[in-house]
Structure 1
Amino acid sequence: MSRTMEWAARAEHLGGIPRKAVIAAVGAFAKTVSSLLNTTSVHNADTLLRCVRSRPRRVPLITVSNHMSTLDDPVMWGFKSFPIFDANLARWVLAAEDICFKNALYSYIFRVGKCIPITRGGGIYQEHMNEALDRLNNGEWLHTFPEGKVNQEDAPIRRLKWGTASLIVRASVTPIILPIVHHGLHEVMPEKYMFGRRPLFPLWNNKVNIIVGDPIEFDLPTMRQRAISQSRSESFPTIGWPSTSDGLDEAAQRCLYSIISEQIRAAMERLRCFGKSFLKS
């Protein structure tokens, strides 16, 4: 049995009952950790709610955030007023295959829970990136952690992986890109709590702060031309990427994905700095 279990991710699987059950159970867990065991405040929540609930039909949404713990998703969606129990509105999320898809049981639960397996280090053209692209082309919501791994240090946003940028470029309709930065979940699920390991259960009496930004505007035609010009004057090692549907070769893609990723990283870093000053006030 394949650990990727694409059939379990389909909305029609067993009439959608397993998906609704898993989303409800995960939602209850997230609400408990976020709103009952801990205190969560959200700045600019209305923007996130509007993008999730009432963006234009067929327009996809990509939310991007920093990654402070293994519980970021789903706990960051457990704040009051968020529709976390709605299986139709629930996000798709890129999830590390080596953690979430270890065996058949894990694979089934995460698949039903709208998770897409990603092999870290597998590149932007690995098999399930196409699945993520299909979700976007259906106008759905995808969440990504573009830093690529958990970072519990209070440090600037690191250089982003290019997977999210590649999805933005390749999507048939340019997605809404919404940056989010959170702080405090590293104390709910610290990586090194006891004997250098995570706690068995989420910790409590912590403050979680979520800063939602405004959608990032991309002038993709101009950015494409800039990438093409830049790629002609720079040398990149190539590994055989296919050209995009609009004819960008690998060198141009690398330039474009770098430009887009830096714009997203800068937006996230501004939110991080705003959050630090917001918390001090």
Structure 2
Amino acid sequence: MGRRIMEWAGRPEHLGGIPRALVFSAVGAFAKVVTTCLNSTSVHNPQTLIRLVKSRPPGVPLLTVSNHMSTLDDPLLWGFKGFPSVDAKIARWVLAAEDICFKNKLLSYIFRLGKCIPITRGGGIYQEHMNEALEVLSDGGWLHTFPEGKVYQDEAPIRRLKWGTASLIVRSPVTPIVLPIIHSGFQKVMPEKSFFGRRPPVPLCNQDIRIVIGEPIHFDLKSLKQEAMVATPDPSFHSLGWPKTSPDALGEVAQRWLYANISDRIQTVMEKLRIYSTKV
């Protein structure tokens, strides 16, 4: 089993939860100011997200997915009016790039307090921190992912999604509620190369931000798994040595079929939302 970076700091009981509460109070207030006060933000269908965050059925996990347009998408995405961005208890867990957010012990500690799970780029869907993300879903928690895998700042169709998010949906003991979100404008708030070829030192103001929250995507995993079990490998198939899933004992060929099909469906829904967001 691989190591988990500073996992102890992410536990709710760490120092009585006081450091976590302070981080969410500060970061949540920052998100409110930037998203609500310093920029113009419109939100479509906010009530669906708020309802699922606050009052979904007990034990049922929530998995939100969105495009990725800036390094500040999270936390700014949760700073819109009416959203409980400072409530650490119901706040999301989020997959975060290890090479950006966990460069040193101080950053690791702060991001862990902020309920961030480090993910190693290129580490594969069975890296140890993905197991930690799976535990969040197993506990009925809320997890957010950016399935495109990296920041893309141009207004373009949704890229082919990485399989990590699909693997979490398949492996979760309770199938999560999957909620797609599309946003634009954060790439103008924190552009990658506007300040001497770098990101600006502080978020920019007076930008238009659009957030479009879709409806839950439902997956009939039982039927999908049955289809996956009779799937045949393509001629270029090369085994990566994936373990069989539990308790279904799905082999690598079946897993690849499942992850590809689920990812394609999520990508299609996200792209429809993106097109819709350009018209509202």
TM class, shorter-length: over 0.9
* Residue 237 (structure 1) shift: 1.1
Match of 1:32 in 2: 33
Report the residue type matching 1:91 in the other structure.
R
Deviations for 1:54-76, whole angstroms, at most 9, x for unmatched residues?
A: 10001000000000000000001
Deviations for 1:107-158, whole angstroms, at most 9, x for unmatched residues?
A: 0000011000000111000010000000110000000000000000110000
Deviations for 1:78-111, whole angstroms, at most 9, x for unmatched residues?
A: 0000001111110000000000000000000000
Identity of aligned residues (%): 66
Match of 1:132 in 2: 133
How does 1:14-25 map onto structure 2 within 5 Å? 14-25=15-26
Decide whether the 8 Å contact of 2:4 with 2:128 is kept in 1: no
Match of 2:148 in 1: 147
* Residue 226 (structure 1) shift: 1.7
Deviations for 1:204-262, whole angstroms, at most 9, x for unmatched residues?
A: 00010000000001111111122222235665211100000111001110110000000
Report the residue type matching 1:222 in the other structure.
S
Deviations for 1:175-216, whole angstroms, at most 9, x for unmatched residues?
A: 000000001000000001022100000000001000000000
Supply the distance in 2 between the matched residues of 1:65 and 1:213 (Cα, whole angstroms): 10
Match of 2:265 in 1: 263
Report the residue type matching 2:56 in the other structure.
R
* Residue 23 (structure 1) shift: 0.7
Question: Aligned match of 2:253 in 251, 262, 270?
Answer: 251
Supply the distance in 1 between the matched residues of 2:235 and 2:91 (Cα, whole angstroms): 41
The change in CA–CA distance for 1:233 and 1:192 in structure 2 (over 3 A counts) is: closer
Q: Secondary structure at the match of 1:62?
A: strand
Decide whether the 8 Å contact of 1:69 with 1:151 is kept in 2: yes
How does 1:84-99 map onto structure 2 within 5 Å? 84-99=85-100
Supply the distance in 2 between the matched residues of 1:236 and 1:277 (Cα, whole angstroms): 41
Report the residue type matching 2:157 in the other structure.
P
The change in CA–CA distance for 1:234 and 1:213 in structure 2 (over 3 A counts) is: farther
Supply the distance in 2 between the matched residues of 1:265 and 1:6 (Cα, whole angstroms): 31
Decide whether the 8 Å contact of 2:4 with 2:129 is kept in 1: no
Supply the distance in 2 between the matched residues of 1:218 and 1:262 (Cα, whole angstroms): 12
Q: Secondary structure at the match of 2:211?
A: strand
Give the count of matched residue pairs.
277
Decide whether the 8 Å contact of 2:167 with 2:259 is kept in 1: yes
Supply the distance in 2 between the matched residues of 1:93 and 1:244 (Cα, whole angstroms): 23
Gaps in structure 1 of 5+ consecutive residues: none
Match of 2:197 in 1: 196
Match of 1:272 in 2: 274
Report the residue type matching 1:231 in the other structure.
T
Supply the distance in 1 between the matched residues of 2:205 and 2:183 (Cα, whole angstroms): 17
Decide whether the 8 Å contact of 2:66 with 2:146 is kept in 1: yes
How does 1:106-125 map onto structure 2 within 5 Å? 106-125=107-126
Decide whether the 8 Å contact of 1:27 with 1:78 is kept in 2: yes
- TM-score by length of structure 1 reads 0.97
Decide whether the 8 Å contact of 2:65 with 2:145 is kept in 1: yes
Q: Secondary structure at the match of 2:231?
A: helix
Superposed CA RMSD in Å reads 1.1
Q: Secondary structure at the match of 1:143?
A: strand
2:233 matched to 1:239? no
Gaps in structure 2 of 5+ consecutive residues: none
Report the residue type matching 1:271 in the other structure.
L
Supply the distance in 1 between the matched residues of 2:166 and 2:75 (Cα, whole angstroms): 23
